[in-house]
Amino acid sequence: MPSAIGKKALLLGAGFVCEPAVQALSEAGVEVTVACRTLSAAQALTANYKSTTAMALDVVNEPENLCAAISQTDIVISLIPYVHHALVVSAAIKYSKPVVTTSYISPALWALDDQAKAAGITVLNEIGLDPGIDHLYAVKTIDEVHKAGGKVKAFTSYCGALPAPENSDNPLGYKFSWSPRGGFLALLNSAQWYRDNDVTTVDGKNLMAAASPQRIFPGFNLVGYPNRDSVGFRDFYNIPEAHTVFRGTLRYAGFPEIIRALVAIGYFSQERMAVLERLGTTWVQLTISLLGLSESLSPKEVENAVRQKIEAFVTDKDDVDRVLSGLRWIGLFDPTPVGGYGTPLDTLCAVLETRMAYQLGERDMIVLQHIFDIEHAGGSVEKRSSTLVEYGEPVGPRARSAMAKLVGLPCAVGVLAVLEGRIPATGMVAPWSSAEIARLLRDELKDKFGIELKERVIT
């Protein structure tokens, strides 16, 4: 079996999840070239590691340079936004170069499956955190149950990237390491899952209304809401017997109600507004405009109008007061200028990117849990859990967040497995493609980096 030592890897992107992957690959003897539109970002990433090189490359606008770089490497790692993966894979197919991504296999990638197989290349996807580590342990338990003649009757999974409890010190209990716009837009996605063998759907505008308390551990005050489309996972995980298949996102309690209030007022609108074109428009004026109120109203009267909006979906008075206090903290009733952004969503994101940023010395946390309802061959039933809680390093020079570690390190493990020929499958591949692929990635992640889910039977 070939060794990865001396092999060349082209890593596209220089985001915050990239450094753990670069470090792990460098230490394994792989020569890594980091390519980014901004050369200085790539240089900052490679400065501390041996056998690494930085280069400037605009994947979208420089196709000839992309092809030239791919032709000179042994493997491509695409950690740029998922919408560009198909472009990268198409170029890699021309040169018969394998690819690794941490993103879901999109329809655009599935469309390249036959071409990738014809080129004899592995395109390993979904090997980050979620998707990634979650697959490794879902497949583990499901395979064990099936081999023993049992059935997985229900599968429920939650994952959340959160500030550590001591740093969850704002009304939403959430913080950003990146621009919040994409994260906020995801809160408007519809979701569907299997419940009692029927497909249950919730529209994006009602997503936060579907949130419910989740007792991952008694010390965590968490809630969870549905995460996009869980229906396909009944097939991916080969559990046709499962009457419930659900995947959700975790946040601290209180988050959904504030988001629902912002949506109800209109702050998630992506439409340009005349009031935002005016120089000096204040937050309270924007709130008034979104609600269609008279501009003569005082801030207190505007608050009362918003309170009525909140009372439509929050019944407890203390909870209403808490949501209103959160909106006040954001600044929705302030007489200060909004800053000249064209849409309500952009205006909201601009202020929260500052107010909800991680500060020096703060750390993040990842919580992931699977719950399996199992029916054994003899008819007995059992409930099992697989749980991971990982804390990042306090923010500072070269600190690694939990998110960076749990995306970047699985990615590196996947790259090494492909380079060393340990994943012979070609075309679009994911950790759920086979129990054997999941096992080798899971074992290496545990043995090399100590990353594993704790499994137990729930009494």
Residues identified as active-site: 130
Question: Strand order in 99-101's β-sheet?
Answer: 52-56, 31-36, 8-12, 75-78, 99-101, 122-124, 427-429
CB-based contact 273:346 (threshold 8 Å): no
CB-based contact 4:69 (threshold 8 Å): no
57 contacts: CB under 8 Å, gap ≥ 6: 12, 35, 36, 37, 65, 66, 69
**E strand or H helix at 274:** helix 274-277
CB-based contact 391:164 (threshold 8 Å): yes
CB-based contact 101:407 (threshold 8 Å): no
Partnered with residue 100 across adjacent β-strands are: 77, 124
Q: Are strands 122-124 and 427-429 parallel, antiparallel or unpaired?
A: parallel
What per-residue string of b and e applies to 240-268 under the rule 16 or more CB within 10 Å gives b?
Answer: eebbbbbbbbbbbebbbbbbbbbbbbbbb
Q: Which of 57, 71, 73, 49 is nearest to 12 (CA)?
A: 57
Q: Which of 163, 128, 162 is nearest to 17 (CA)?
A: 128
CB-based contact 191:210 (threshold 8 Å): yes
The amino acid that residue 401 corresponds to is S
How many other CB atoms sit within 10 Å of the CB of residue 152?
Answer: 26
CB-based contact 394:386 (threshold 8 Å): no
Report the alpha-carbon angle 5-10-11, nearest 5: 110
No. of helices (H) and no. of strands (E), the chain: 17, 16
